[in-house]
Structures are given as structure tokens and as C-alpha cells.
Amino acid sequence: MQPSGLRRTAIALASTFTCALAAPAGAQLLSHKDLTASIAITIVQTAIETCKANGYAVSATVVGRNGEIIVQVRGDNTGPHTIENSFRKAYTARTFRAPSGALVDRVKADPTLGLIHLTNVIANQGALPIKVGDEVIGAAGASGAPGGEKDEACVKAGIDKVADQLK
């Protein structure tokens, strides 16, 4: 007896589903590198110390690949807003895989840019993505210096300090 068209379709779908389940499980896993707490601490500490040496009191934050806080330090004599601002800058740099200042330029070009309304996103310079090759694995941000370019320079010093470990 020949199966009906509907039955043939069901058998074909079941066979396809069974084959998909038989594929090796490893083929579906992602492999990636993540920041360690030690690296994140070094970045934050170096950023704060670099800014302090230049006369600026800053707070600093390092976020991981999912935008989660790994290390966050409120610097000595900083305003209470600097801790949140350093996080939002870092989150923005991680989310968009670019320096947080790049969003400033995008907003200047399009003041109605909806991205600035996303939670934790901020159009302020002062954060840089942390990369292994071309892969963004986190970001670091600082807040408190008189100007985002100064915050960013301190963050760059922190990332540069661990550059040899980001491979």
C-alpha cells in the first residue's frame, strides 16, 4: 500500500528532523575568548592611575562580551554620576563595537537617531572596545576627566597595558 501525500510529507519531515539531531553537538557550540577578572582589574586600575597622574579623578568600568560589568571602581574624589557614566560609555563601546565617541558623531549627523534611547547607551566619548584580533570581547570606559578625549586616553593606557595578553 502506497502512503498518502500527507503521510509522505510527515515521513520526510521526521527523517530530516532525525538527521538534524544526529549532527555532532560540537558543531552547534560557539568558541570564544573572554576577559579575565585580572585583566579587567589591570585595565581599570591603569586607567584611574593614568588620569590621576594627569590631574583628573575618574571612575572606570570594564564590561565583558555581553555588556556585563566585570570590574567597576569609583575613583577617589569623583562625582557620584561618574560610576554610572563610565559604565554607560563602556556598554556603548561594547554594544556598537566602536569607541563611544563614534556615537557622538552619528548623533551629530542624525539628531533623531533612535539608538540613543536604548537602555545604557550614551553618546559620550570616553570608552573603547577591547579586542582580540577583530573580535570585540568587552569594553572599558572612564568618566570624570574634563572632556571625553581625556577619559578615552586613560582607558587606552589601560588597554595598552594588557595588550600582550589580548591574543
pLDDT digits (tens, 9 = 90+) for 123-147: 999 999 999 999 999 999 999 999 9
Give the Cα separation of 6 and 16 in Å (integer): 15
Sort residue 42 into left (φ over 0), alpha (ψ -120 to 50) or beta.
alpha
The closest of 138, 119, 131, 122 to 66, measured between CA atoms, is: 138
Amino acid at 164: D
Q: Quick one: pLDDT band at residue 118, thresholds 50, 70, 90?
A: very high
Q: What confidence category does residue 75 fall into, taking pLDDT thresholds of 50, 70 and 90?
A: very high
Q: What is the pLDDT of residue 27?
A: 74
Share the mean pLDDT of the chain.
Answer: 90
- Answer whether 100's CB lies under 8 Å from 93's CB: yes
